[in-house]
A and B are shown apart, each in its own frame.
Chain A
Amino acid sequence: MADVLGRWRLERLPSPSRLGAVLVPAASILLALVAGGLIVALAGQNPLAVYGAMLAGALGSRNGLAETLVKTTPLLLTGLGVAVAFRMRLWNIGGEGQFYLGAIVATWIALFGLPDAGGWALVPAMIAAGLLGGALWGLIPGALRAYLGANETIVTLMLNYVAILLADWLVHGPWKDPQAFGFPGTPRFSSAAALPALAPTRVHLGLLFGVTAAAVLWVLFRRTRWGYEIGVMGESDRAARYAGMPTRRTILLVMALSGALCGLAGMSEVAGIGQQLQRNLSPGYGYTAIIVAWVGRLHPGGIVVVAFVLAALLVGGDQIQMSMGLPAAIAPMLQGIVLFFLLGGELLTRYRLVRHPAPSDAAATGAGT
Chain B
Amino acid sequence: MTITRRALVGSLSALALSGATVTVRGGLAATQEATPAGGGEPIKVAFIYVSPVGDLGWTWAHDQGRIALQEAMPNVETVFQESVPENPADAERVIRQFAEDGARIIFTTSFGYMDPTINVAESYPETVFVHISGFKTAANVGTGFGKIEEPRYVSGLIAGEMTESNQIGYVAAFPIPEVIRGINGFTLGVRETNPEATVRVVWTSTWFDPQKERQAAEALLDGGADVIAQHQDTPGPQQAAAARGAFGVGYNADMGTIAPDAVLTSPIWHWEVFYIDTVQKVLDGTWEPTQYWGGWQDGLVDLAPIGPMVPEDVRAMAEAEIDRFKSGEATIYTVFTGPINDQSGQERVPTGTAMTDEELLGMNWFVEGVEGEIPS
Contacts and interface: CB of A to CB of B under 8 A. Distances in A.
Given A183-B3, A325-B79, A71 B93 contact: yes
Interface stretch (A57-65, A123-131, A152-160): A57-65
B327 interface: no
Given A181-B135, A279-B3, A328-B81, A322 B89 contact: no
B149 to A, nearest CB: 16
Contacts of B13: 179
Interface in A272-288: 273-274, 276, 278-283
A274 B87 contact: yes
B11 interface: yes
Interface stretch (B94-102, B219-227, B296-304): B94-102
B79 A322 contact: yes
A96 interface: no
A321 B87 CA distance: 19
A181 B83 contact: no
Contact of B101 (A183, A323, A328): A323
A184 interface: yes
Contact of A279 (B4, B83, B135, B175): B4
B2 A280 contact: yes
Given A274-B87, A322-B101, A323-B79, A70 B93 contact: yes
B94 A279 contact: no
Contact of B7 (A74, A183, A283): A183
A315 interface: yes
A182 interface: yes
Interface string B41-52: 000001000001
Contacts of B79: 322-323, 325
B111 A322 contact: no
A297 interface: no
Interface string A301-331: 0000000000000010011011101011100
B82 interface: yes
B92 A273 contact: yes
B177 A63 contact: no
Contact of A181 (B3, B80, B101, B362): B362
B167 to A, nearest CB: 27
A322 B176 contact: no
Contacts of B175: 182
Nearest to A323: B101
A57 B97 contact: yes
Contact of A315 (B4, B8, B93, B115): B93
For chain A, the bracket of interface size reads 35 or more
B364 interface: yes
B11 A318 contact: no
A188 B3 CA distance: 18
A328 B81 CA distance: 7
A318 B177 contact: no
A181 B93 contact: no
Interface string B335-376: 000000000000000000000000001101000000000001
Contact of B97 (A182, A273, A322, A329): A322
Given A179-B17, A321-B82, A67 B96 contact: yes
Nearest to A322: B81
B85 interface: yes
A278 B4 CA distance: 9
B87 A283 contact: yes
A280 B100 contact: no
24 contacts: A181-B8, A181-B11, A182-B177, A182-B364, A183-B7, A185-B4, A188-B115, A274-B87, A274-B89, A278-B88, A279-B4, A280-B2, A280-B85, A280-B112, A283-B85, A283-B87, A318-B84, A321-B80, A322-B79, A322-B81, A322-B98, A322-B101, A323-B79, A329-B83
Interface of A: 57, 61, 63-64, 67, 70-71, 74, 172-173, 179, 181-185, 188, 202, 269, 273-274, 276, 278-283, 315, 318-319, 321-323, 325, 327-329
Given A181-B177, A183-B111, A329-B83, 18 more contacts: A63-B100, A181-B7, A181-B8, A181-B362, A182-B362, A182-B364, A184-B3, A269-B89, A273-B88, A274-B88, A276-B88, A276-B115, A278-B87, A321-B82, A322-B79, A322-B97, A322-B101, A323-B79
